[in-house]
Amino acid sequence: MCGIAGWVSYDPARPVTADTANAMTHTMACRGPDAHGLWRDDRVALGHRRLAVIDPDGGKQPMTFEQSGRTVVALTYSGEVFNFRELRAELEGRGHAFRTSSDTEVVLHAYLEWGKDFTERLNGMYAFALWDARTQELLLVRDRMGIKPLYYHPTPDGVLFGSEPKAILAHPAVRPAIDAEGLAELVAFTKTPGHAVYKGMYELPPGHTLRVKHTGVRLRRYWALEARDHTDDLDTTIARVRELLEDIIARQMIADVPLGTLLSGGLDSSVITALGARQRAAEGGAPVQSFALDFARHAENFTADDWRGTRDTPYAEALARHVGSDHRVITLPSSALLDTAAREAVMRARDLPFDLGDGDTSLYLLFKAVREQCTVALSGESADEVFGGYRWFHHPDSVAADTFPWLAPPFGTGISGPGSGPGESLLDRGLLQKIDLQGYRADRYREALAEVPHVPGASPQERRMREIGYLHLTRFVQWMLDRKDRASMAVGLEVRVPFCDHRLVEYVFNTPWAMKTFDGREKSLLRAATRDLLPGLVADRVKAPYPTTRDPFYLDGLRAALKRATEGPDSLVRPLLDGPSLAAATADDPRPGYRTGSELVLALDFWLRTQEVSLEF
């Protein structure tokens, strides 16, 4: 998967230096534990940390193309292009010669052949920087769905960039600062494309390129969701979804290192594992490895409710038996979820304080265990956004609400389940008014709605459900993809997300809502297209969110940690909090509803203590 970093300076008085470029690149070591590389000339430095997945011996980076002993183009690249074999064959037919079998070299030659339009030919998850020595320009590129992150920071004489903010913050000219808008973005629970929270820093939006010249920077969108008439009938639509999934899995199972799947026992991960097992069997390979998460004492502490009706483990094991995967359950005790080192590793990986708490820590620990066996894992992430799986897609109040549906009653921000409460629940009420959190959310919602493409003549319901789908594919899924990327790359694990293939996303986005729910359930198309692969109890399982522990030991430990972080005159986070709410959350018999808020406060505390952030509001 890899991590990239770099620096362009067009001012001769401020030349790029190897020491600083190496320091920026070193912050990406967790993303690329296998090798380090730096390419530099007078105006640019490209850094690379490698996680070797395709052509481990030949795909070293940064990679260059040279003519007459001089570098023409240099590339530092993160991610995977899944159609690289087809592109390579086409390029060879056009006279290009390759010295490696890596997809990196295919990207390099695709640029040489097609120029700026080469991005439209790539299928994959990627973020990369390409220096064209002929024009003295840098091109930053991010994949269509934003699976792989890429940040940049314009400077008076050029630009800084990196896979994560920490690479940019390692440059001595940059100091971490956050203003009122940045704080609002941080806690709003909607990821605004391009917004990086830190002042002066930006995230390259999905489906965009950034061209950097001595005259400045220019952002260009090369892909967007478009409204198209859907002319296929239901049976044809189901068959097309299956055809796309089979092709996607065949492409994404390619790796020169051990590969497995993440299996929760839900529909999405079960489909990925079943198709992966079938592909592996067709190739005559060993059974696919699958990995599931569980918590110690979870069976005895679990109580079914309206949010989560079943535990994951029995369904994951049933699917594994059905497809014959080499299955392993990663069981985490509450002590591991409260472990300071693990929690801080997650917060360092995120660069910013987020509020899923044990949901993030358990994901990190799961990936850490998977990494002992595999370098690549396939995940069912984004199927809910693509096919309409979340409960608020199907609740009339959420659909009709004049805000992002995941923030609306009756579900609110209870992503972690009932009683989790909104992330801002412990923040000072005056502070929330100062940053105008509700106004910020309203403005971002209006911006998103204004982007939605519609088919002329669609019914009001179809128009609204197209809007709901668009909000999830451009705002909600970005938050989920970033979470998974940071947790996985913190341990050097590449996680692929087949449901984010842009061909599938485009096709299903334009499928009428009546077809997506033709059997009266969530994800009707996905279930119908894959039912033959799954045991009945898995195919018919009701959607359940990512698991969180119910162990009272964890909740007691969370409350104790919150007390420690907010007590005493030296607490940096205490001035940001609401006194009565904090008292209620830390009481011996705490009120329900503060779990998510408590997790956010602990993340804020660590962030303020370790990043020396300037708060400018």
The residues annotated with a catalytic role in the active site are 2
Q: What is the DSSP string of 21-47?
A: HHHHHHTTTTT--SEEEEEE-SSEEEE
Structure tokens at 318: 């049933």
Identify whether 405 is preceded by a cis peptide bond (ω within 30 of 0): no
Instruction: Give the Cα separation of 418 and 56 in Å (integer).
Output: 46
Q: What is the DSSP string of 335-402?
A: HHHH-HHHHHHHHHHHSS--S-THHHHHHHHHHHHHHTT-SEEE--TTHHHHHT-SGGGS-HHHHHSS
E strands present in 83-172: 124-132, 137-142, 151-155, 158-162
Which of 151, 264, 193, 242 minimizes the C-alpha distance to 470? 193
Instruction: Give the Cα separation of 243 and 241 in Å (integer).
Output: 5
Instruction: Give the Cα separation of 313 and 331 in Å (integer).
Output: 10
Instruction: Give the Cα separation of 335 and 603 in Å (integer).
Output: 18
Name the helix (H) or strand (E) containing 247.
Answer: helix 234-252
Instruction: Give the Cα separation of 48 and 63 in Å (integer).
Output: 10
Q: Most distant CA pair in the chain: distance in Å?
A: 75
Q: Is the dihedral of CA 598, 603, 604, 610 positive or negative?
A: positive
